[in-house]
Chain A
Amino acid sequence: MTDLSAGGIPAARPKSSLLTEDARTKKRNAAERRFKIYGLSAVLLGVAALVMLLISILGNGLSAFQQTYVTLQVELPAETLDKEGNRNRDEMAKVSTFGYSPLIAVAVENAVTEAGIETELSPQDQGDIISKEAAAQLRNFVLANPNVVGETITFEFLANGRIDGYLKDRVTRETAALDKNVSPGQLDLTDALQEAGILEQRFNWAFLTMPDASGQRPEAAGLGVAIMGSLYMMLIVLGLALPIGVAASIYLEEFAPKNRITDIIEVNISNLAAVPSIVFGILGLAIFINFAGLPQSAPIVGGLVLTLMTLPTIIIATRASLKSVPPSIRDAALGVGASKMQSVFHHVLPLAAPGILTGTIIGLAQALGETAPLLLIGMVAFVREYPSGPPEGFFDPASALPVQIYNWTQRSDPAFVERASGAIIVLLIFLVSMNALAIFLRRRFERRW
Chain B
Amino acid sequence: MSVFFLLIIVLGFGALGFVLGRSRALASADGNIRNLHSLPNYYGFNVALSTIIPALGLLAILSLVLPILIDNRVSTFIPADSISEDTTRSLVMSDVRRVADGLDTAVAAGAMTEDEAQTVSTETTDVRERLGAVGVALGSNVEPFVLRAAQSYRAQAAAAQLWTTFLIIGVAIGGFAISFLRTNREFRARNVVENGVLVLLMAAASIAILTTLGIVFSMVFETRNFFQDYHWTDFFFGTTWSPNFRGDSDLGIIPLLWGTLYISFIALLVAVPIGLFAAIYLSEYATHKFRSFAKPAIEILAGIPTIVYGLFALITVGPFLRDYFAQPSGLGESASSVMTAGLVMGIMLIPFVSSLSDDIINAVPQSMRDGSLGIGATHSETIRQVVLPAALPGIVGAVLLAASRAIGETMIVVLGAGAAARLDLNPFEAMTTVTVKIVSQLTGDTDFASPETLVAFALGLTLFVITLGLNVFALYIVRKYREQYE
Produce 1/0 per residue, A218-251, CB < 8 A to B.
0000000000000000000000000111011011
Q: Whole-angstrom distance between the alpha carbons of A366 and B307 in the complex?
A: 12
Of A46, A243, A370, A402, which is in contact with the most chain B CB atoms at under 10 Å from its CB?
A46
Q: Whole-angstrom distance between the alpha carbons of A286 and B459 in the complex?
A: 14
B442 contacts across to A, CB distance below 8 A: 281-282, 285, 376
Q: Does chain A have a CB within 8 A of B431?
A: no
Produce 1/0 per residue, B47-80, CB < 8 A to A.
0000000000000000010010000000000000
Q: Is the pair A277, B408 in contact by a Cβ cutoff of 8 Å?
A: yes
Q: Is the pair A282, B411 in contact by a Cβ cutoff of 8 Å?
A: no
Q: Is the pair B380, A45 in contact by a Cβ cutoff of 8 Å?
A: no
Q: Is the pair A427, B208 in contact by a Cβ cutoff of 8 Å?
A: no
Q: Does chain B have a CB within 8 A of A386?
A: no
Interface size class of A (residues with CB under 8 A): 35 or more
In the complex, which of the residues A50, A265, A275 contacts B205, with contact meaning CB atoms closer than 8 Å? A265
B190 contacts across to A, CB distance below 8 A: 339
Q: Whole-angstrom distance between the alpha carbons of A255 and B203 in the complex?
A: 13
Q: Give the shortest distance, in Å, between B422 (CB) and chain A (any CB).
A: 21
Which segment, of B136-144, B179-187, B248-256, B275-283, faces chain A?
A: B275-283
Q: Give the shortest distance, in Å, between A292 (CB) and chain B (any CB).
A: 6
Q: Does chain A have a CB within 8 A of B108?
A: no
Q: Is the pair A428, B308 in contact by a Cβ cutoff of 8 Å?
A: yes
Which segment, of A30-38, A125-133, A151-159, faces chain B?
A: A30-38
Q: Does chain B have a CB within 8 A of A278?
A: yes
Q: Is the pair B307, A369 in contact by a Cβ cutoff of 8 Å?
A: yes
Instruction: Tell me the dominant secondary structure on chain B's binding face.
Output: helix
In the complex, which of the residues A40, A271, A340 contacts B281, with contact meaning CB atoms closer than 8 Å? A40
Q: Knowing A372-B439, A431-B303 touch, does A424 contact B311 (C-beta < 8 A)?
A: yes
Q: Is the pair A47, B315 in contact by a Cβ cutoff of 8 Å?
A: no
Q: Give the shortest distance, in Å, between B105 (CB) and chain A (any CB).
A: 16
In the complex, which of the residues B277, B305, B407 contacts A369, with contact meaning CB atoms closer than 8 Å? B305
Q: Knowing A277-B408, A283-B211, A405-B307 touch, does A31 contact B378 (C-beta < 8 A)?
A: yes
Produce 1/0 per residue, A33-57, CB < 8 A to B.
0111011111101110110110011
Q: Whole-angstrom distance between the alpha carbons of A315 and B308 in the complex?
A: 27
Q: Is the pair A276, B197 in contact by a Cβ cutoff of 8 Å?
A: no
B211 contacts across to A, CB distance below 8 A: 272, 283, 308, 311
Q: Give the shortest distance, in Å, between A368 (CB) and chain B (any CB).
A: 8
Q: Knowing A244-B204, A274-B401, A293-B67 touch, does A50 contact B297 (C-beta < 8 A)?
A: yes
Q: Give the shortest distance, in Å, between B281 (CB) and chain A (any CB).
A: 3
Produce 1/0 per residue, B194-222, CB < 8 A to A.
10011011101111110110110011011
Q: Knowing A32-B379, A341-B197 touch, does A405 contact B311 (C-beta < 8 A)?
A: yes
Q: Is the pair B204, A248 in contact by a Cβ cutoff of 8 Å?
A: yes
Q: Is the pair B315, A417 in contact by a Cβ cutoff of 8 Å?
A: yes
In the complex, which of the residues A38, A255, A274, A311 contacts B277, with contact meaning CB atoms closer than 8 Å? A38
Produce 1/0 per residue, B304-346, CB < 8 A to A.
1111111110111000000000000000000000000000000
Q: Is the pair A248, B207 in contact by a Cβ cutoff of 8 Å?
A: yes
Q: Whole-angstrom distance between the alpha carbons of A321 and B467 in the complex?
A: 29
Q: Is the pair A60, B411 in contact by a Cβ cutoff of 8 Å?
A: no
Give residues 239-273 of A contacting B (CB, 8 Å). 243-245, 247-248, 250-252, 255-256, 264-265, 268-272
Q: Whole-angstrom distance between the alpha carbons of A243 and B203 in the complex?
A: 12
Q: Give the shortest distance, in Å, between A259 (CB) and chain B (any CB).
A: 13
Q: Does chain B have a CB within 8 A of A329?
A: no
Q: Does chain A have a CB within 8 A of B274?
A: yes
In the complex, which of the residues B205, B415, B456 contacts A251, with contact meaning CB atoms closer than 8 Å? B205
A251 contacts across to B, CB distance below 8 A: 198, 201-202, 204-205
CB-nearest residue of chain B to A254: B201
CB-nearest residue of chain B to A312: B208
Q: Knowing A268-B208, A271-B471, A282-B218 touch, does A276 contact B201 (C-beta < 8 A)?
A: no
Produce 1/0 per residue, B256-276, CB < 8 A to A.
000000000000000001111
Produce 1/0 per residue, A275-298, CB < 8 A to B.
111111111011100111100000
Q: Knowing A50-B300, A255-B201, A369-B305 touch, does A279 contact B281 (C-beta < 8 A)?
A: no
Q: Does chain A have a CB within 8 A of B46?
A: no
CB-nearest residue of chain A to B379: A32
B468 contacts across to A, CB distance below 8 A: 271, 275
Q: Whole-angstrom distance between the alpha carbons of A40 and B381 in the complex?
A: 17
Q: Does chain A have a CB within 8 A of B409?
A: yes
B194 contacts across to A, CB distance below 8 A: 339-341
A389 contacts across to B, CB distance below 8 A: none
Q: Whole-angstrom distance between the alpha carbons of A41 and B467 in the complex?
A: 31
Interface size in chain B (residues, C-beta < 8 A): 90
Q: Is the pair B439, A376 in contact by a Cβ cutoff of 8 Å?
A: yes
Q: Is the pair B205, A292 in contact by a Cβ cutoff of 8 Å?
A: no
Q: Is the pair A28, B297 in contact by a Cβ cutoff of 8 Å?
A: no
Q: Does chain B have a CB within 8 A of A138?
A: no
Q: Does chain B have a CB within 8 A of A406?
A: yes
Q: Give the shortest distance, in Å, between B119 (CB) and chain A (any CB).
A: 28
Q: Knowing A278-B460, A282-B219 touch, does A36 contact B214 (C-beta < 8 A)?
A: no
Q: Is the pair B214, A42 in contact by a Cβ cutoff of 8 Å?
A: no
Q: Give the shortest distance, in Å, between B309 (CB) and chain A (any CB).
A: 8
Q: Is the pair B435, A371 in contact by a Cβ cutoff of 8 Å?
A: no
Q: Is the pair B274, A46 in contact by a Cβ cutoff of 8 Å?
A: yes
Produce 1/0 per residue, A303-320, CB < 8 A to B.
000001001100100000
Q: Does chain B have a CB within 8 A of A421?
A: yes
Q: Does chain B have a CB within 8 A of A335?
A: no
CB-nearest residue of chain B to A40: B281
In the complex, which of the residues A36, A40, A268, A366 contacts B212, with contact meaning CB atoms closer than 8 Å? A268
Q: Give the shortest distance, in Å, between A391 (CB) and chain B (any CB).
A: 6
Q: Is the pair B201, A250 in contact by a Cβ cutoff of 8 Å?
A: yes
Q: Give the shortest distance, in Å, between A249 (CB) and chain B (any CB).
A: 8
Q: Does chain B have a CB within 8 A of A209?
A: no
Of A43, A53, A251, which is in contact with the most chain B CB atoms at under 10 Å from its CB?
A43
CB-nearest residue of chain A to B308: A424
A420 contacts across to B, CB distance below 8 A: 311
Give residues 389-403 of A contacting B (CB, 8 Å). 391, 402
Q: Is the pair B277, A282 in contact by a Cβ cutoff of 8 Å?
A: no
A60 contacts across to B, CB distance below 8 A: 315
A275 contacts across to B, CB distance below 8 A: 215, 408, 464, 467-468
Q: Give the shortest distance, in Å, between B476 (CB) and chain A (any CB).
A: 10
Q: Whole-angstrom distance between the alpha carbons of A378 and B443 in the complex?
A: 7
Q: Whole-angstrom distance between the alpha carbons of A275 and B469 in the complex?
A: 11
Q: Is the pair A265, B383 in contact by a Cβ cutoff of 8 Å?
A: no
Q: Whole-angstrom distance between the alpha carbons of A32 and B215 in the complex?
A: 50
In the complex, which of the residues A28, A34, A372 contacts B410, with contact meaning CB atoms closer than 8 Å? A372
Q: Whole-angstrom distance between the alpha carbons of A245 and B475 in the complex?
A: 22
Q: Does chain A have a CB within 8 A of B364?
A: no
In the complex, which of the residues A49, A57, A244, A293 contacts B308, with contact meaning CB atoms closer than 8 Å? A57
Q: Does chain B have a CB within 8 A of A70?
A: no
Q: Does chain A have a CB within 8 A of B301?
A: yes
Q: Is the pair B218, A271 in contact by a Cβ cutoff of 8 Å?
A: no
Q: What 6 A-B pairs have minimum CB-CB distances, sorted nearest first? A: A276-B408, A369-B305, A39-B281, A286-B218, A42-B277, A247-B204
Given contacts A272-B208, A282-B457, 6 further A-B contacts (CB under 8 A): A39-B278, A247-B205, A271-B212, A271-B475, A280-B215, A427-B308
Q: Can you list 20 A-B contacts (CB < 8 A)?
A: A32-B380, A36-B379, A39-B277, A45-B274, A46-B275, A46-B278, A53-B308, A53-B312, A57-B311, A244-B204, A248-B207, A274-B471, A276-B464, A278-B439, A286-B219, A339-B194, A369-B307, A376-B439, A427-B305, A428-B304
